[in-house]
């Protein structure tokens, strides 16, 4: 059977997620992309809690583009530093490290997060 692209992404995500886990000292930075928006969460997997979250809708005038992803990365970095989070584990959820996902990661690094 032919697999569609999203099923392949989910398979990659599950394979990587089995190895990547966020702790209280180094939580997981989770990226989600859809056709309309993007969202980012910082999750502590040991306590099963979301520490910080940001969505593209929170940023005024931001669109679902690479520039919008850069703004989202700086927003999540600001929110994380307010909560006292400086180091994270980057989890791209099976998406390629390219374009919007790369822009989020690089702008979060510029904002002060360490991967």
Taking the model in full, what pTM does it have? 0.86
Average pLDDT over the chain reads 91
pLDDT given for residue 31 in this prediction = 96
* Closest to 40 in 3D by CA, of 52, 48, 22: 52
CATH code 3.30.2320.80 for 5-110: no
pLDDT tens-digit map of 46-61: 999 999 999 999 999 8
**pLDDT greater than 90 at residue 112:** yes
Task: Identify the residue whose tokens are 């919007």.
Answer: 100
Which one is predicted more confidently, 2 or 13?
13
pLDDT given for residue 5 in this prediction = 76
Tokens representing 92 are 């791209």
Which one is predicted more confidently, 56 or 17?
56
Locate the domains of the chain by residue range. 5-110
Contact in structure between 93 and 28 (CB atoms under 8 Å): no
């Amino acid at each position: 059977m032919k697999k569609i692209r999203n099923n392949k992404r989910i398979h990659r995500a599950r394979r990587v997620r089995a190895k990547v886990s966020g702790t209280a000292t180094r939580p997981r930075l989770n990226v989600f992309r859809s056709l309309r928006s993007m969202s980012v969460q910082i999750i502590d997997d040991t306590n099963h809690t979301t520490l910080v979250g940001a969505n593209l809708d929170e940023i005024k005038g931001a669109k679902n583009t690479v520039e919008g992803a850069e703004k989202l990365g700086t927003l999540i970095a600001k929110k994380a530093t307010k909560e006292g989070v400086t180091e994270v584990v980057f989890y791209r959820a099976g998406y390629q490290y390219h374009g919007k996902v790369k822009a989020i990661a690089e702008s979060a690094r510029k904002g002060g997060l360490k991967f």
